[in-house]
A and B are shown apart, each in its own frame.
Chain A
Amino acid sequence: MLRALKLEPEKCTGCLQCEMACSFENEGIFNPAKSRIKVFTFHNEGRFAPYTCTQCAEAWCMQACPVDAIVVNPQTGAKDVRADVCVGCKVCTIACPFGTINYSQDTGKVIKCDLCGGDPACAKACPTAAITYVDADQTGYDRMRAWAAQTANTSRVQH
């Protein structure tokens, strides 16, 4: 079963624990500037939104890469960047419609979310469950449940 990161912006408080967890897991350092997940603040509206790669099935970044440095990880479904192959041409950063793959000037390669090999640090660090790691086919089920609750307004027992 593949799992996916489920992001629920309405639960996010903007604390950046996810960004630190991500950079610590991947770079061994607390550094939001090196995080593959980013939290954006919309100050005037009082909203926060975490955002990262959604691991598109037919990933634009993977299709665009001229040296096949981006490959599907069969265990996680993540599109992983093979740093030893990446030449840092940044074509993938242009191809990605969501901006979730980015260049790292320290290494001369691109970096993106790889789901931490199947145990994403951001989800573990999030204090409000705004980021969870769930069955990839069921990311919408909580929302369905909420709507379902509104439709089931009459108990069968009463009939």
Chain B
Amino acid sequence: MGWTKKILRVNLTDGSCKSEPLNMEWAAQYLGQRGLATKYLVEEIDPKVDPLSPDNKLIMATGPLTGTMASTGGRYSVITKGPLTGAVACSNSGGFIGAEMKNAGWDMFIFEGKAAKPVYLHVENDKAELLPADDLWGKSVWATDELLHQKHQDPQMRVSCVGRAAEAGCLYAAVINDLHRAAGRSGVGTVMAAKNLKAVAVRGTLGVGNIKDPAAFMKATAAGKKVLAENAVTGQGLPTYGTQVLMNVINEVGALPSRNTRDVQFEGASKISAEAMAEPRKSDGKPNLTTNAACFGCTIACGRISTIDKEHFTVENKPEYWGASGGLEYEAAWALGAATGVDDLDALTYANFICNEDGFDPISFGSTVGAAMELYQIGALTDKETDGIALNFGSAEALSKVAELTARGEGFGKELGLGSKRLCEKYGHPELSMTVKGQEFPAYDPRGIQGMGLTYATSNRGACHLRSYTVASEILGIPEKTDPLVTDGKAGLVKAFQDATAAVDSSGLCLFTTFAWTLDNIAPQVGAACEGDWSVEKMAEVGERVWNLERDFNLAAGFTGKDDTLPQRLLKEAAKTGPAEGKVNGLEKMLPEYYELRGWTSDGALTAETRQRLGL
């Protein structure tokens, strides 16, 4: 079965916590986590709702394999209507709290309404209650985690919470769990804070035992783990170098957006790469990287744990930052580094610590700082607006300072917290915002990796790499190599990746397994755990259904095909260097074909046949 078949519905307005059965009819159609929670959201909220109003809902959802021995089976997602984009928001996180929810006997928590005063949810198996959080409000994620552990005297308890950035209205605030794992994108943390919900603390001791065929499940998961161990990326590359293994690779292929995407290569890339993280520092003889770390149940262990040099200017006389903590992943290193032109590894690590400590998305933040630096350079922003901070490209000092300000919503940090779209509009240069549907795109330049242009343009949560990671095919040759510089065939590639990804995100497994696994490896694991048909075809169908459901919600929220576009810079300004020199992104060649393959109208709307085929 996989599911606990139980949902906890928390009404923050009246303070009630009620158990209700999981809708198994929907589970058969949407599996769990991303898909199933989106179905609940779509059924329960008005698509036009103000994301920060009490009428929006926020769902924390596990998948059927969360909390099991399947490798990486520890994922959970936070689903809501996002304030950064106004689109459906679904942010996925690892760490340990997803498995703890399952161990406590819950598939999902649905939060509705708004508490009159700050509260947190405390769950101990069947027992769930809202408790006052007045003493936690105004505290960082790290302080909140510590205070809750002290209060409940339970070191095994797991905490998801928001920091000061969310409280201050930063539109890309994250929900952080286990100190440094993040449901990071689209401002899901902002919605949580707007509900006066500071934290969710969970302890589960019931276990996950409702597996359909335990013997088949152990066999299927063991086979899956063997594939991960023997694959070069998941068995060696990711545990050794983390996702940062990409920094030099993507720079080489000329697809590393740099200095607000004016360039496609960054001369400082090697200084902020995985290789640099492992190199002993000249200053103290120790490497930035302390160790790798796994999320719950993960046999890959790509997580980075880093330590900053105590003498580094960012942490000098600040012993609270001298310990080891969540280090740079590729997207964060790119955003905080290449997008801003900063090549000081420890400064990026510090900014990353700050993003974790107060819960905000380093991708959106770094990209917004990059945009602000360009505005500053052309004189659209001056020292008057930036609180006197010389916001020059490449300035590690400026980056550290604005990270601190954004974390607390102070001064110019308040403006940076609204994201690059609002910032660039306010200062008269909307074309300098590197966003789609209001969300900053991540670390792959669509001029050098053409498929990523279509990926960003059509992503249901605003620009994102985790909706169809065609980099795998176009650069790494997984599952097969395609030419990154051509648009031919990319519409089909993007659709296939989008559907498969939506299925993986609905299962409780981590997307990173798909460097080695296809649905052929995943379907048997889901099938052994869950009642019903979970063939490869069914999984792909679920993925397609989830994708269309999200799309339909966005259309109802007011988006149209016109929003499936890219910043002009990617469509008009050719790449200046590298293999993609002279190229722009050929979105107009890919988009009509993509709509057709999706079974959508030429305006990008679902046709009646598509609706019927997918049961929408």
Contacts and interface: CB of A to CB of B under 8 A. Distances in A.
Interface of A: 13-17, 20-21, 23-24, 27-34, 43-48, 125, 127-128
A154 B219 CA distance: 49
A34 B206 CA distance: 9
A46 B103 contact: no
Interface of B: 67-69, 71, 96, 99, 103, 156, 179, 204-209, 214, 218, 225, 229, 239, 290-299, 301, 305, 307, 323-325
Contacts of A43: 179, 323-325
Contacts of A31: 103, 205-209
Contacts of A24: 69, 214, 218
Nearest to A23: B207
A17 B297 contact: yes
Q: Which 3 A-B pairs have the closest CB atoms?
A: A31-B207, A44-B323, A46-B324
B294 to A, nearest CB: 4
Given A15-B296, A45-B323, A21 B205 contact: no
A48 B292 CA distance: 10
B542 to A, nearest CB: 23
11 contacts: A16-B96, A17-B299, A20-B68, A27-B207, A29-B207, A30-B67, A31-B103, A31-B208, A45-B323, A46-B291, A127-B225
Contacts of A15: 294-299, 301
Contacts of B209: 28-31
A102 B67 CA distance: 23
A20 B291 contact: no
B414 to A, nearest CB: 31
A20 B69 contact: yes
B559 to A, nearest CB: 39
Contacts of A23: 207
A24 to B, nearest CB: 7
A16 B294 CA distance: 9
A17 B324 CA distance: 23
Contacts of B218: 24
A32 B155 CA distance: 13
Contact of B293 (A13, A32, A127): A13
Contact of A46 (B208, B225, B293): B293
Given A14-B293, A43-B179, 18 more contacts: A13-B239, A13-B294, A14-B294, A15-B296, A15-B298, A17-B297, A20-B68, A21-B69, A29-B208, A30-B68, A30-B69, A33-B156, A34-B205, A43-B325, A44-B323, A125-B69, A127-B71, A127-B301
A28 B96 CA distance: 21
B324 A13 contact: no
A33 B294 CA distance: 18
A33 B293 contact: no
A127 B299 contact: yes
Contacts of B99: 32
Contacts of A33: 103, 156, 204-205, 207
Contacts of B71: 17, 127
Nearest to A20: B69
Chain A CB count within 10 A is highest, among B67, B69, B96, B292, for B69
B191 to A, nearest CB: 28
A88 B296 CA distance: 31
Given A30-B69, A46-B324, A13 B292 contact: yes
Contacts of B296: 15-16
A59 B314 CA distance: 51
A112 B75 CA distance: 29
Nearest to B179: A43
Contact of A48 (B156, B229, B293): B293
A9 to B, nearest CB: 11
Given A30-B67, A127-B299, A45 B205 contact: no
A78 B224 CA distance: 32
Contacts of A14: 293-294
Nearest to A40: B155
Contacts of B206: 31
A35 to B, nearest CB: 10
A46 B67 CA distance: 23
A30 B100 CA distance: 11
Contacts of A127: 71, 225, 229, 299, 301
B519 to A, nearest CB: 22
A44 B68 contact: no
B26 to A, nearest CB: 24
A125 B296 CA distance: 13
A29 B291 CA distance: 31
A46 B305 contact: yes
Contact of A17 (B69, B179, B207, B208): B69
B102 to A, nearest CB: 9
A43 B295 CA distance: 13
A44 B353 CA distance: 13
A48 to B, nearest CB: 7
B569 to A, nearest CB: 39
A128 B228 CA distance: 12
Contacts of B297: 15-17, 20
Nearest to A38: B156
Chain A CB count within 10 A is highest, among B68, B207, B209, B296, for B207
A136 B325 CA distance: 36
Given A28-B214, A127-B299, A34 B207 contact: yes
A27 B295 CA distance: 23
Nearest to A28: B209
Chain B CB count within 10 A is highest, among A34, A43, A47, A125, for A43
A13 B69 contact: no
A48 B96 CA distance: 14
A23 B211 CA distance: 14
Contacts of A44: 323-325
Nearest to A30: B208
A14 B96 CA distance: 10
A44 B324 CA distance: 5
A21 B71 CA distance: 12
A45 B307 CA distance: 9
Contacts of B291: 46-47
Contacts of B301: 13, 15, 127-128
A128 B207 CA distance: 24
B549 to A, nearest CB: 30
A29 B323 CA distance: 36
A46 B325 CA distance: 7
A79 to B, nearest CB: 25
A142 to B, nearest CB: 20
A32 B69 CA distance: 11
Contacts of A48: 293
A51 B290 CA distance: 21
Nearest to B225: A127
A11 to B, nearest CB: 10
